[in-house]
Amino acid sequence: MQELTHYIGGAHVKGTSGRFADVFNPATGEVQARVPLASEAEMANAVEIAAAAQPAWAAVNPQRRARVLMKFVDLLNRDMDKLAEALSREHGKTLPDAAGDVQRGLEVVEYCIGAPQMLKGEFTDSAGPGIDMYSMRQALGVTAGITPFNFPAMIPMWMFAPAIACGNAFILKPSERDPSVPLMLAELLEEAGLPKGILQVVNGDKAAVDAIIDNPVIQSIGFVGSTPIAEYIYGRGCANGKRVQCFGGAKNHMIVMPDADMDQAADALIGAGYGAAGERCMAISVAVPVGDETADRLIEKLIPRIEKLKVGPYTAGKDVDYGPVVTAAAKANILKLVESGVEQGAKLVVDGRNFNLQGYEDGFFVGPHLFDHVTKDMDIYKKEIFGPVLSTVRAKDYEEALSLAMDHEYGNGTAIFTRDGDTARDFASRINIGMVGINVPIPVPLAYHTFGGWKKSAFGDLNQHGPDAFKFYTRTKTITSRWPSGIREGSAFNFKPMD
């Protein structure tokens, strides 16, 4: 069995803690590798190496740092198929979806190539007699990121690309469920010219997370995962004086107005609700048709589309719609929530509980589910399922639909499907959710805008990627400079006050 490593000081390093986690092939249920779980001492060693390497990297001018990222983009494109295959093998998502995972991270790297422009400061000439004032953006030092299993390429690049472009060193603690791609990314960055020690990959569990939070050298932490862990890291990290940015759970609603193109809305819900087996923080898990007639038409469109979904391993070809969920525990939790929906009175219109894929009986496959007549007191509505389960909550009118999304504790993403511009504008203006789609089901912003939710979906005052990333990974220093006049005339023995 393959034994994975950490990546520290520019080399693959075996774990020394004696603790390991199994890495599964989700399609077969087999353990395909084991990954070391770092101790506090191992994390401290990685931080020490990063701290020693960082000042020289920060002294490299931003344009030269950007050239490393340019080369990294070339290498990502060169190895796209290899990265996608490794990602699919450990996560379970289809090959096109895995390549999209890499691509959306690559686009943030491309944006960060603009570091010379983004890091420019401000200057005021003659703020007073002989006085100039200017600001500069400087690197924090050693930074860290704790990333989730569902996007093992994209989210690490969302964090380390801007951090490195700003002149920081970065400690990446990826998910122990699918750690191979982050290790491959570290290798590619050094092939692109990144100095050794600037990007360290340290695998681990809660012990490694706590070692990051409590290490006094680490200046900032980025996190994506569940809301309870986001709250824990944010609270403890801030208490330790770090800059912290944490993104938590989601329950994304898609409002379907009576005037919507129902085929377009149904197609959007299929991709947004069941793509990647629902394991996306921006997945649509709640459809909110306005009016019973709209709901009936939508359900009628959804049922045949859902029944035609092809579920299978990534090796079955590019026409597979989605693959397995990541672990047996994730599958069990999804099915438990489905049972709760049935018990609490929701109508299970499409029942995937007995789904079984011949030849892959031990895999972590979950069939597609569609609920109708879901109410907001049910567990399937309140909790993030993170699986191929779509709940339909019928709203009597637009205001009730709007309030469903606004009253939910999560505020990551939302969407509305309508032909009416006034309704769309009102929705975009009033909704208390961070990312909004208008006839777009998964409104993930492109790299040059920022990504971030509201309410219990995000903790911290700055979003991921876009301009906010350059603010998060730098500090502003402001200099007031005065060169006294008269020196060129010779010595002066009296101090000339300001006029």
Q: State the Cα–Cα distance between residues 369 and 194, nearest whole angstrom.
A: 46
Phi, psi of 130 (to 5 degrees): 70, 15
Mutual orientation of helices 154-165 and 95-112 as an angle, nearest 10°?
10
Q: State the Cα–Cα distance between residues 234 and 237, nearest whole angstrom.
A: 5
Whether residue 76 contacts residue 415, with contact meaning beta carbons closer than 8 Å, is answered with no
Q: Which of 39, 104, 64 is nearest to 280 (CA)?
A: 104
Q: Can you point out the beta strands (E) in 373-489?
A: 389-392, 410-411, 413-417, 435-438, 454-455, 458-459, 474-482
Q: State the Cα–Cα distance between residues 23 and 178, nearest whole angstrom.
A: 7
Count other Cβ atoms within 10 Å, centred on residue 70.
13
Q: Which of 429, 398, 435 is nearest to 415 (CA)?
A: 435
Whether residue 254 contacts residue 289, with contact meaning beta carbons closer than 8 Å, is answered with no
Annotation marks residue 246 as catalytic: no
Catalytic residue among 112, 166, 246, 281: 281
> What tokens appear for 224 in the block?
């994506």
| The three-state (H, E, C) secondary structure of 58-122, written as one string | HHCCHHHHHHHHHHHHHHHHHCHHHHHHHHHHHHCCCHHHHHHHHHHHHHHHHHHCCHHHHCCCC
Q: Which of 377, 357, 358, 375 is nearest to 367 (CA)?
A: 357
> What tokens appear for 51 in the block?
């701290």
Report, as residue numbers or ranges, the catalytic residues: 281
